[in-house]
Amino acid sequence: MKRYRFLVNGRVQGVAFRYATQDMARTLGLTGWVRNRADGAVEGEYQGSESCCTKLAAWLEQGPPAARVDSLHADEIQLFPGETVFTIRPSV
């Protein structure tokens, strides 16, 4: 099991990025969260098997069809035990 915190910059708000990320994470069996930031970026965390985390990271580099990802930054962080779903959090 791995957990990552990520930050995506580009045209990633107003293009269903959070919803598509949630759908992809759930399809891969990952848990975590995603939200918009006031600076126009999208941030979140995801947790699961290393192979599924790698697949989501590759997907985040492209995003949904209407998005334009300029950069993706992800860092491995401590696991969050007991988390059971992938959610969309309120924007900050």
By annotation, the residues acting in catalysis are 18, 36
What distances in angstroms separate CA 52 from CA 11, 14, 39, 78, 90, one per listed residue? 25, 26, 28, 17, 25
* Structural tokens at position 87: 């959610």
Cβ of 84: how many Cβ atoms within 10 Å? 6
- Residue 31: half-sphere exposure toward Cβ, Cα within 13 Å: 11
